[in-house]
Amino acid sequence: MFVDRSDAARERLVPGEGSEGSGGAAALVRRAVPLVENDASYYALPDPKQDRARPILVDDESILEMERQLFAERGHRVVLARDGDEALRAIGGELPAVIVLDMQMPGLDGPTFARELRQSLRHVPLVVVTAAPDPEHEADRCDAEAYLQKPFDADELVETVERFAA
């Protein structure tokens, strides 16, 4: 599930289905709405042929290859990092359009990486991906603009990156 927590998106609450054990009560689901409705450029990643920023994906090595292939199939180039240290080195060479960050990694973990990132690059959008039972708490720990809870839909990952990379 994707939740956009950025100031750049208006949010509205819509009725949704309650989870099991909720007594059947309808839950309120947060849905992000783009500031400019029906604007195709809002959802487009920068053209890789142009010298524009690319997203950085920070995740476990086994997941990164799948994510790289997913983005390549859709014509997008991304920068891959296996941990927070590698991501910080990648940022030193090129300002990213957005960073997709796994919370649990070897070496420099998600929250530590986010603290270091926010000290120098406050304005880079950060999207947290986590299998934690409370993904909103994890996003708060990193001051992230959005989060995806694992397992997430591949199209949802691409759409989230496209939204923030525009």
- Residue-wise pLDDT for 5-39, tens only, equals 655 443 332 333 333 333 332 222 233 333 333 33
pLDDT in tens, 101-120: 999 888 888 899 999 988 88
pLDDT of residue 94: 75
Q: Are 139 and 120 in contact (CB under 8 A)?
A: no
pLDDT of residue 3: 66
pLDDT of residue 120: 81
Q: Which domain holds residue 101?
A: 39-165
Find the mean pLDDT for residues 66-86. 91
Residue 4 covered by a domain? no
* Separation of alpha carbons 132 and 136, rounded Å: 9
pLDDT of residue 119: 87
Buried b or exposed e, range 27-55, using 16+ CB within 10 angstroms: eeeeebeeeeeeeeeeeebbeeeeeeebb
Vertex 159 angle, CA 155 and 164, to 5°: 155
Q: Are 146 and 160 in contact (CB under 8 A)?
A: yes
Instruction: Please give the backbone phi and psi of residue 55, each rounded to the nearest 5 degrees, phi first.
Output: -70, 150
Residue 56 covered by a domain? yes
Residue 146 covered by a domain? yes
Count: domains in the chain = 1
Residue 140 covered by a domain? yes
pLDDT of residue 43: 34
Residue 16 covered by a domain? no
Residue 15 covered by a domain? no
Please report where in the chains the tokens 């010298």 appear, as a residue.
51
Residue 44 covered by a domain? yes
Residue 59 covered by a domain? yes
Query: Which CATH number do you get for residue 130?
Result: 3.40.50.2300
CA count, 13 A, side-chain hemisphere, 48: 11
